[in-house]
Structure formats: C-alpha cells, structure tokens
Structure 1
Amino acid sequence: MLLRTWLPGLLAAALFTAVTGTAAEAGTIPPGAAHHSARPADTCTPVSTLAGDHFTPVQIAQTAKNNGFTGNGLVVSVAVALAESSGWTRAVLVDSDCSRDRGLWQINSYWHSEVSDAQAFDPNGAAQAAYRISSSGNDWTPWTTYTNGAYQQHMAEAQQAVNQIGGGGGSTGCAGLPSWNSGTAYTGGASVSYNGHRWTAKWWTQGDVPGANAQNVWTDNGSC
C-alpha cells in the first residue's frame, strides 16, 4: 500500500483486518498532503482480500529489477511489497475512506488514480508505478509500511532474494535505509545505515551500537 497513508500495510494492518477483524486502513497519501482535509469524505468498513498469484520474494525481486529498481532501492522494493501485500498480485485493501490499495505494492486508487486497476494488478505494471512513485527507488516515504518500519522485518529475506537474482543490493548504496537510532527497538532482520555501512540485526536490540557492542548483535553488510 503505497503509503504515508493512514494505516500500516496490507500485511502489517490490512491482514489483521481479515484475520482478526481489527479495523485498519492504508493507502497512499503523498508526502505533504494535508491528511484530514485532503482525504475522501466517504466512510467504509476496512476489508482486505488476498488474491491473484502468490509471488515469492525472488519473483518480486526479479519483477522489480526488470522494471528499473537497482541497488538498495531494489532490496527495499521487495521488503515493502512483502510488508504491503505478502506477495499477492491482486491483493486489495478497502480503506475506511473507501479508497482501495491494490496489488503487490498496494497502490492507492484515490491518491494515485492515474494507476488503473489493470496496471496495479499486473506485476510489471505495478512495479513500474512503484518505481515512479518512489522516485526510482530513492524515496519510500509514501508507503506506510516504510514509514512505520514494518518493512524492516522483511529486509533480510529481500536481500537474499536480490542476491539470488544477481541484483547486488545493499552494497550499492544506503538510500532508503533508516539511520541507526539508539532509541529505536529493532527486530531480527532489520537493516540500518551507520558510519557509511549497512548493518542487519541478528535479533531484537535497542541501544547496541553497530560494530561496537559486546553482544555482536549487528552484522556488517559492508560499505554503502
């Protein structure tokens, strides 16, 4: 779900709607949009649906790569898609404002009406739209699962998928990675940038400085 919208991603929030009945909304609100004044006026009960083909991380990585994503932007694109749709090509989340988040990257029908359902539900079409909206993979702030950090739990498997297709990834740049913060709690698989390197947490951690902690909780993935 292209975010910066009101709710976590299809998985981070929408899936909870389907599984637990908890209300959720997501979508794509462009950075800088005035939230309440800019939103549609309709009211709907959030409902999520998983449908279409269930892409593996490798399939998502290959699709993203084929449509322009490179470097760390490619890795993040896979992690965001997994957080948003769990890899379902025709996943849909009806938001509380009655807009719909669609496809692998949950592109919102209201904030990105230029993206048709046909494009949003087509893996290549969705990747092309995500590439454009993310400024060629350099700005993921429109996605809620990026801004709330939910994508981080998928970074390790996303990197593995990118490695399998020969996409490189983390070593080509730190763009899209959050900077390490001593006050942030990180779960295993979360990736950050610190002192010009990419680091991946082995398990839950908070306050452990990458490269300088006795627990050795951070894996140094090299310069970026």
Structure 2
Amino acid sequence: MSNVIATQRKVLTREADEQTDEPQKANDQFRKMLVRAKVLDGPVGSAYIEMGNTKVMCSVNGPKEQQSGDYSHEGSLNVSIYGIDSTNVRYTIQSSLNAVVCLKKLAKAKVDVELNVLADDGGLVAACLMVAGVALISASIECFDLVLACNLLLYDSGTQTILDPTQSQLKKHTKGVNVTIGIMPALGQVVCCDVNGLVRKNVLDKALDYGFRKCLEVYPLMSEVLRSKDGNLF
C-alpha cells in the first residue's frame, strides 16, 4: 500500500471514529447521507459513503488479465471486505454486483473490489452496494446501471417499517425482520433482496415495493456524485 493511500485511509478512518449522535428522523426517512467518488489516488476507482454513522470506503483495481488457465467468456469480480467478519455479507455483495457489471465485456479479465468498513451502525449491505457501484463506475468499469439500495426493519408482524434503521433500533426490535434491497433504477430491476428473519410472502412483497420506491429517492444524490464538471459520468 502506498504512503498516499495509507494517509488518506487514516484520515477517513479518523473521521469515521468521530461518531455523532444521530438526529431524530421519521421512520420513512433516510439518515443523512454523504457520498464521494475518487477519494483515493492509487486505485483505478474509489468511493466513500456515510449513511448516518455507517461509513464504508471502497477501492477498485482492474481490469487485470487473468492467468491463462482461468480463461472465461465472462470476466470476474473479486470482492473482499475488511472490518467485519461475515462471509454472508461478502457473498451478498458479490452476487449483487455480478448482476450490475457487464461481465461479458471483461472476458479473460478480473476486477478487484475492496471494501473497508470503518463503522457499522446499520444498513451495512446497502452502504456497501452503493459505494461499490460508485467506485466501479469511477474506475470506468462498464455497468448496466447505477446501484441504489436501502435497508428496512419490519416489526410487529410486518405492520410497522423503519427505513434505514440504526443498530440501536435493530437491537430494540430483536424479533423484527431485516431486509436489504438493491436495485438498478433505469432498468427497473432488483439485484439484491437479502432477508434476515421469517416473514410472510405478502408482507415481503409490500416491503419490496416500498423499498424500491425509497431507493429511487437516492437517485439524485448518486447521479450527481458521478457527474463530472463537463456534465459526463466518469
């Protein structure tokens, strides 16, 4: 790791350590969100996201030619995640990003996606999906669309919903169901539906519809982040 990248990561990590009390928000609102592209000088692409006190940085390198024995008609993504110990989270993110990246355009090549979790106060998978999507596009990796995502907490048998819950809210409703939804807005497709808990199908269907609409609220922010001064995306 270069000294420049190490220094930049230390600065962002120090900022992430400065946890702030979350202001009260309505159950149908997102927490304050901040997204930055091109935050690191070394990697081909990079991005940083804050969703309340959840903070994640992502770097992208590649495409790199795979070894001759690894040839495939499609390219591959190599997703690694640091700061948490969860194989399930990495698998969810990788499988979702596989649906977003134009892998056929990366034949015989691989792209490394590295996620660093600086702080987790809920909505981690949603944050990782969005920051990885921005980092991939900033690296000029061809994607079908942007990635928008949100996290929902369903409780009281699915009659109540909290959008973008914090860890304290998740702990308060231990019998609730945690749902993460990721979408490609222009194509109208769901790329992630990660459900933790037992929920009836009709309740989940309503949650997916609600989550899809809420994801679209993030579109103006994400598209602006990716828009350069001359009006073009990276």
TM-score between the two structures when normalised by the length of structure 2: 0.22
* Structure of higher RCO (CA pairs closer than 8 Å, 6+ residues apart): 1
Answer with 1 or 2: which has the greater Rg: 2
